[in-house]
């Protein structure tokens, strides 16, 4: 693994956005006013640094550094995080729960249509009915014939007793990597956190993303 270039022992790269949006590129950490930031849209994190401001910081969301929740991070005192949500099985998207994996139709080669043998005009494939796939007797390679994928959809980690407000499994696991985490629920409904070396803010489900375009 390529070592982190951040001064902090906290690797900020897992907290970055996976792809740039139409108006912001947060796929890499950036530095602003003595803080090194990263955000994936749900979590914003920052650690102290001596690095100069990033040249492209103007193209990033400067409103992240002005989020009012940062003020709550210093008083975060609750630990540990609430129990992680229950992992629920989901219907296998490959076989759609049929247990037998669909395979590419050999007649139309997956295209869903064939040429009429008389006039040559395209027509719906008579073998797969235009689906491009046909059911196989072999167990689905994705779910191994179970029809479901176990533990792939997380129930929310609920905060403050509100079942509809919480963190999805992937975001919760990111917070779990931060050493000495302490948290509090801010008035806006975000989670304000402090940890050894920095601060973090997490947007709860149904509240909205941190990287939403500011008004």
Lowest-pLDDT choice from 29-38, 46-55, 69-78, 131-140:
131-140
Domain boundaries, the chain: 13-83+155-202, 97-150
- How many other β-carbons are positioned within 10 Å of the β-carbon of residue 116? 10
What pLDDT was estimated at residue 68?
85
Confidence of residue 176 (pLDDT cuts 50, 70, 90): very high
Do the beta carbons of residue 76 and residue 46 sit within 8 Å?
no
List, for residues 98-138, the tens digit of each pLDDT value: 888 777 888 888 888 888 888 878 889 988 888 888 877 77
Rounded Cα gap, residues 181 and 78, in angstroms: 9
What pLDDT was estimated at residue 201?
93
Quote the mean pLDDT of the chain: 79
Using the structure block, give the residue that is written with the tokens 């210093």: 74
Confidence of residue 206 (pLDDT cuts 50, 70, 90): very low
Most confident of 12-26, 87-101, 109-123, 171-185: 171-185
Most confident of 5-14, 120-129, 137-146, 200-209: 120-129
- Say if residue 180's pLDDT is above 90: yes
- Output 83 or 198, whichever has higher pLDDT: 198
Rounded Cα gap, residues 26 and 58, in angstroms: 12
What pLDDT was estimated at residue 77?
93
Alpha helices (runs of H) in the chain, residue ranges in sequence order: 70-73, 169-176
Confidence of residue 23 (pLDDT cuts 50, 70, 90): low
Residue 101: alpha-carbon gap to chain centroid:
27
Confidence of residue 155 (pLDDT cuts 50, 70, 90): low
Q: What is the mean pLDDT of residues 184-197?
A: 87
**Residue 120: CA count within 13 A, CB half-sphere:** 0
- Regarding pTM above 0.85, the answer is no
Rg (C-alpha) for the chain, rounded Å, is: 24
- Output 138 or 85, whichever has higher pLDDT: 138
Rounded Cα gap, residues 9 and 78, in angstroms: 23
What are the phi and psi torsion angles at 166 (to 5°)? -175, -175
Of 182, 189, 165, nearest in space to 81 by CA: 182
Q: What is the mean pLDDT of residues 167-177?
A: 85
CA distances from 93 to 105, 125, 136, 142 (A): 18, 23, 15, 9
DSSP annotation string for 138-168 = EEPTTTTTSSEEEEEEEPPEEETTEEEEEE-
- How many other β-carbons are positioned within 10 Å of the β-carbon of residue 163? 10
What pLDDT was estimated at residue 5?
40
């Amino acid at each position: 693994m390529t070592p982190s270039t951040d001064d902090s022992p906290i690797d900020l790269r897992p907290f970055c956005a996976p792809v740039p949006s139409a108006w912001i590129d947060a796929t890499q950490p950036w530095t602003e006013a003595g803080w090194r930031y990263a955000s994936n849209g749900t979590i914003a994190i920052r650690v102290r640094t001596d690095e100069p401001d990033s040249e492209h910081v103007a193209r990033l969301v400067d409103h992240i550094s002005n989020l009012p929740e940062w003020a709550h991070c210093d008083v975060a005192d609750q630990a540990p995080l609430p129990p992680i949500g229950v992992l629920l099985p989901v219907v296998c998207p490959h076989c759609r729960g049929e247990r037998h994996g669909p395979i590419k139709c050999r007649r139309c080669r997956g295209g869903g249509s064939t040429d009429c043998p008389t006039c040559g005009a395209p027509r719906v494939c008579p073998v797969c009915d235009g689906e491009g796939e046909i059911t196989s007797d072999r167990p689905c390679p994705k779910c191994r014939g179970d029809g479901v994928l176990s533990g792939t959809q997380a129930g929310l980690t609920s905060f403050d007793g509100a079942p509809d407000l919480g963190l999805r499994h992937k975001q919760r696991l990111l917070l779990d990597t931060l050493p000495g985490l302490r948290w509090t629920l801010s008035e806006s409904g975000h989670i304000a956190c402090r940890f050894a070396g920095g601060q973090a803010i997490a947007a709860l489900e149904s509240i909205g993303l941190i990287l939403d375009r500011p008004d």
